Structure formats: structure tokens, C-alpha cells
Amino acid sequence: MKYPISLLLLLSFFLQSCQFSKNSTEAPIKADDADNSTPLPEENAPTFPDWDDRSALKSGLILLYQNVLDEMPDATIYHLDLNIDDDLIHITGSQEVRYTNQEDIALDEVYFHLMPNYLGEEMLVSMVQINGEDADFALEMRDTALRVPLESSLAIGESVLIKIDFVTTVPARLESNYGILASTEGVLALAHAYPMVAVYDDEGWNIDIPSEQGDVTYLDMSFYFARVNAPKDLVLVASGNEITHKSTGDRQVALYAAAPARDFYIAASEEYVHIQEDFGNYVINAYTPKNMENGAEMAIEVAAASIDFFSEQFAPYPYTEFDIAATPTYALGIEYPGMTAIRVGLFDLGTEVNGTPASIYLESTIAHEVGHQWFYHLVGNDQLDEPWLDESLTQYITWQYYLNQHGNNGGAGFAQALDGRWRRVDHAQVPLGLPVSAYEDAEYGAIIYGRGAFFFEALEEEMGEDVFDAFLADYTQSQVWGIASTESLREIAEKHCNCDLEGLFERWIYPVE
């Protein structure tokens, strides 16, 4: 199914009024129909593998990427237990994390983000243990950071087991940062609901409180095993692959494996209808309320076209699944490892959003969020301090998706939309390389989501199309699973063009002294 190019011109109105963020089967998902109310016995619950057993993680990666599991011996490993209460608001959790010091100095503490204390409700930590012994801990940064001091310094290459018991209360309304953590309209959107190991880099531990207008995380790649205990009729969608599933009475327990991944996300609803399509190396799953199947099918088609295009341009998509979950977020879409949450109303193709057909929003949002699987996920960055590295670049490659799928007219429509965003601040030459918190009022959306894409157009003109394409592929493949920076992007670009890009970066990127 193709969508008329003429509709793409409506993108100019769409992007000026929003913030970005085969055989088909269709059936409501239900757990087993056992007719009793006995809770799932603990001894029957799926068990975590041994710390060094990574075999369960392979099923989630295409063959090309499976060796990376052995090439990251010191990656942080999470054994995460989440118990979702029947009210879909209270989450009882316990996690054990094996953290290995991969830095070039010994560490005296480990920090964790407690994001629910920023996102509208609360996370309470009741116990911390280090290597099985009770340990002291402290809350900092308005209770959004947990400091776990170590009895003795953790030497380079040494590991420690940190266990944390916690309770998360989920907001029952859409609150901070587009409502990414919320239980509303029968949908549980469980973002950043567990203590997350902070990044340690040349600035030390990164525990800054995020701005409300941008993404909230800056995380390293980790390995996740997550055991989720939930009401039996709740349809669960999660990062990674479901390894085992058991249910009895009115409860279910699923064990998920996700790696390498920067985060672990869950969306859940009793109302989800599941549509799945197989594309050879990977499958795409869409979860929407009933009567939105046409929107789900369109989303799958756009996601497949995006995955195939970006895989050819940059690096193959790493996972065997990509999931699309409808949630009542204020954003159009939010990216997570191997999946995306999309505003539920976009799947209702018979409606309009801000005077524009929902299909226009849906296509551009899906393409953009799929693009983040390469830039934010495969190649990470500090999303708080250097948001242009993922958002501006993802806007640019979404523009390239439109050119590839819809030709010059489609590309021109998307470029007009980008320019419309930048025009909100009268095409101000505000630098792209600022932290999210430095942008005022409409500047963040206009500069990062509008002006930013035109930097990459200017860079392509400076380097030449073929050299630029080789640069972007190298930028992706040489930093896969790692963390990029403004300087690493410039260094790789200059290597390919054999030129000095100082002037270009001064005009577009670097803050004015």
C-alpha cells in the first residue's frame, strides 16, 4: 500500500505543529485460560540464567551480531524482577546488577538513576546490598540519583554485585516529558521504571536532572534479563525477546532477554490487538486497540521500509524483532531499544490530527523512530548535552527516507516541513551543539528538529555525496554499541573528506564563545 505523494506536502503543517519526537496475522492476545485464581507459585516462575550464560540472548539478535555478546565481557548485566499490581500503578521491584569497572581509574561508588522521582510520581528504595551484604546508600539530585558507596575501591576490570529492592508508583495521568511513564486509558507505559546505572565518562558520573523538553536518558549498552509478573489478561510488549512464559490463575510471569540494549521498556494493555508480519531476518509486531488494524498495518509497512533502507545505508538492523506499541503519550513517538511507543490516535487513519490526516503523522513518526534504532541506540550519545547527535541526524535520515520512498516531491515536502520548524525562530543561527537545557521556549524544537537536518545537507554538499555516504556508514559501523560525540563525528568526517571542517562546525554546531 502506497500513500499519495501529494499528501506529503501537508507535512509542512504537521511538523510545524508537533514535536517528534508477507503474511499478516491478527488476533487479540490472551494468556492461558486456566480457570482458577491461585497466584503463580514462585517455584514455577521462570529462572534467571547464570551470570555468564548469554545463550538466551542470541535469539534476539540476527546471526551477524551474535558474536558481540562475547565481545562485551564486561557489559553491565541486569537481573530485573518487576511485579505489576492489578491497578497498573504500583510496581514492586528487585534487581541484581553485575557492574564491572570499564573505566581507566578505580571507582569508589556506583550511581543509579531513579527516574520515576523526576517523571511525576516516586521510586522508593528499601534495601541495597553489595555482594550479598547490606550496604549504605544515599539519594541525591532531588532524589533522582542513588549513590551506592563501595567499601573498597573497585579496581579496573573488577566486578561487583549490587542488589536493590524498590517500589515504583506510576503516574495515573500524563505528566513530565510527554507522559512516557504513565498508566492511563487502560495502557501502562513503563519507561525507566527501575534503577538504571548511570554513565561514567570524562565528566565523571552523569546524574544531571533532565530538561522537560528533551529525552531523559544517557546510558551505556547493557544486557537485560527481566522477569515480569503481571495480571494474566494484560498483553505485555517489552524490549528484547520473550524467552519463557508461564501462567496460572489470574497471574502470568514472562522472562525477557534484551542485549545489547541501552534501556528496558514495557508497554501493556488488556485491549491490545496484535498484528505480526515476517520480513525474513526480522519480524515486526504492532499492538493497538481494536478497530485500528489498518493503522497497525500501515505502521508495519513503513517500519519495514525504514528498516531496510537504513540497514542498507548504515548498518544492518541488529534484532530479530521490532515492536510498535500504541500508548497515550503527548509525543508523537518515543524510541526504545528494538521498539517504539507511538501516540495511539495516529493509528486511527480515518481521523485528522491538527487538521492533518493521521496517516501523514503516522508515516513520518514511524520512520523517525525507526531511525533512532541507529542514532541513539546502535550509536549512542549524551542525549542531554548533545541532543543534535541523535535527533538532528535522525531528522536528516527521515528526510532521506522520504526521498527514497516518494521521490523528489516527497523529499521536498519533508524539507519544507523542516524549514517550517526552523522558521518558528526566524531562521536564527542558534548553535546545534548546546545542551537541551540551554534552549529557550521554541528554540529546542526549531533548532534541533528543524535547523539540525540542514547541517547534514550542508555537510553532504561540502564532502560530496559519495564521500558523505561512506562517512555516515563508517560513523555508524565504527562506533556501533558505543557512545559518539561531536568531536568523533567531525573526526570521522574529516578523515573521509580529507578536509578541514572547522569553519562549517563553527557556523552550525559550536556554541559562540
9 pLDDT above the threshold of 70: no
pLDDT at 43: 56
Q: Is 205 helix (H, G, I), strand (E, B) or coil?
A: strand
- Which residue ranges make up each domain of the chain? 5-18+376-508, 36-269
Q: Report which DSSP code applies to 151.
A: E
Higher pLDDT, 21 or 356: 356
22 pLDDT above the threshold of 50: no
CATH fold match for the domains 5-18+376-508 and 36-269: no
Least confident of 110-114, 353-357, 395-399: 353-357
176 pLDDT above the threshold of 90: no
Residues 38-72 pLDDT 10s:
344 555 678 999 999 999 999 999 999 999 999 99
Task: Give backbone dihedrals phi and psi of 413, rounded to 5 degrees, phi first.
Answer: -65, -40
Tell me how far the alpha carbon of residue 352 is from its chain's centroid. Answer: 27
pLDDT at 29: 33
Residues 218-266 pLDDT 10s:
999 999 999 999 999 999 999 999 999 999 899 999 999 999 999 999 9
pTM above 0.75, yes or no: yes
How does 5-23 read in b/e, with b if 16+ C-beta sit within 10 Å? Answer: bebbbbbbbbbbebebbee
26 pLDDT above the threshold of 50: no
Percent of the chain past pLDDT 90, that is, above it, reads 88
Across 274-300, average pLDDT: 97
**pLDDT band, residue 113 (cuts 50/70/90):** very high
**pLDDT band, residue 11 (cuts 50/70/90):** very low
Q: Please count the other Cβ atoms lying within 10 Å of the Cβ belonging to residue 1.
A: 7
User: In this structure, which topology does domain 36-269 adopt according to CATH?
Assistant: Immunoglobulin-like (2.60.40)
pLDDT at 354: 87
> Across all residues in the chain, what is the average pLDDT?
92
Higher pLDDT, 43 or 423: 423
User: In this structure, which topology does domain 5-18+376-508 adopt according to CATH?
Assistant: Neutral Protease; domain 2 (1.10.390)
**Do 268 and 289 form a contact (C-beta atoms < 8 A)?**
no
The identity of residue 51, as a single letter, is: W
d(CA 117, CA 32): 36
